[in-house]
Amino acid sequence: MKPAKGEQLTIALTKGRIFSETLPLLAEAGVSPLESVDESRKLIFPTTMDGVSLVILRGSDVPTYVRHGAADVGVVGKDLLMESGDEGLYEVLDLEIARCRLMTAGTGQARTGHAAKIRVATKFVNVARAHYSSRGIQPNIIKLYGAMELAPIMDLADEIVDIVDTGNTLKANGMRPLEHIADISSRLIVNKASMRTRNHIIASLVERLGTAVASRRDA
């Protein structure tokens, strides 16, 4: 189903791996950019479906754009949703792409007791604090934006909380995964107000994406 005449629908996509894995799903749902995203410096792209446009953002910005209504729909990793919270939006579909794990990691063995305090480097401040606190540990959170593996090596932190895919980067830096926090995949989110005002087109998009996800799962 297309938007009504004059109606616009904006879909915010996360750049990088998630974007690459989202495009084929959107194509199966009838939504594709009209020009090559890789060869353009644009950030907003019209699509094959009238009234529907794509905007390409950093992952951490996608929930913000959707929450405040600048975008109606978004695709973002579950890790960032856990960190930012779900206020103002609905999480409507697990797209089952960009799978990985959110874990603690360090240079030593997993803790068996309740350490009084621990230094933790991460960009997932809220998730890390909740995880350690639930285990009776008071974390000293050190916020970083990248190269988390350096923190224990440089004695900046005792452990890190980060996304783990293959674990090869950890191993190459003398570290190992310790505690599993959550399984991560990309989710479709919708602005709560848009769900009411554009329900017909959003519900149709969710249904078609759900069908595409199911067909891949069953393949």
DSSP output for 31-79 = --BSS-STT---SEEEBSSTTEEEEEE-GGGHHHHHHTTSSSEEEEEHH
Predicted confidence band of residue 91 (pLDDT cuts 50, 70, 90): very high
**Cα separation of 55 and 95, whole Å?**
18
Query: Among candidates 140, 186, 135, which has minimal Cα distance to 163?
Result: 186
Q: Report the predicted TM-score, pTM, of the whole model to 2 decimal places.
A: 0.90
**Residue ranges of domains in the chain:** 9-98+185-218, 101-182
Given this model, what pLDDT does residue 41 score? 85
100-106/176-184 β-pairing: antiparallel
Q: Choose between 108 and 213: higher pLDDT.
A: 213
Which residues lie across from 121 on neighbouring strands? 142, 160
Radius of gyration of the chain (CA): 19
Percent of the chain with pLDDT over 90: 80
- Count Cβ atoms within 10 A of the Cβ of residue 14 and give its class: 0-12 exposed, 13-18 middle, 19 or more buried: buried
* Band (32; pLDDT cuts 50, 70, 90): very high
Per-residue pLDDT tens over the stretch 48-72: 998 999 999 999 999 999 999 999 9
Q: Do 2 and 201 touch, CB atoms closer than 8 A?
A: yes
As given in the structure block, the two tokens for residue 126 are: 């809220």
Query: Average model confidence (pLDDT) for the chain?
Result: 91
Q: Which fold has domain 9-98+185-218?
A: D-Maltodextrin-Binding Protein; domain 2 (3.40.190)
Quote the longest CA-to-CA distance of the chain: 62
Per the listing, tokens 């401040």 go with: 125
Q: How is domain 101-182 classified at the CATH fold level?
A: D-Maltodextrin-Binding Protein; domain 2 (3.40.190)
So what's the pLDDT on residue 3? 60
**The domains spanning 9-98+185-218 and 101-182 adopt the same CATH topology:** yes
Residue keyed to tokens 């950019």: 33
Q: Which residues contact 127 (CB under 8 A, 6 or more apart)?
A: 79, 82, 83, 102, 161, 181
Could you read off the pLDDT of 6-19 as tens digits, one per residue?
A: 568 999 999 999 99
| Residues 45 and 34: beta-carbon distance below 8 Å | yes
Tell me the per-residue pLDDT of 116-155, one tens digit each, with 9 for 90 and over: 689 999 999 999 999 999 988 999 999 999 899 999 999 9
| Cβ atoms within 10 Å, residue 8 | 12
Alpha helix (H) residue ranges in the chain:
17-28, 62-67, 78-84, 125-133, 150-153, 168-172, 192-197, 199-218
Q: What pLDDT score does 116 carry? A: 66
SS3 of residue 132 by DSSP: helix
Q: What is the DSSP letter of 108?
A: S
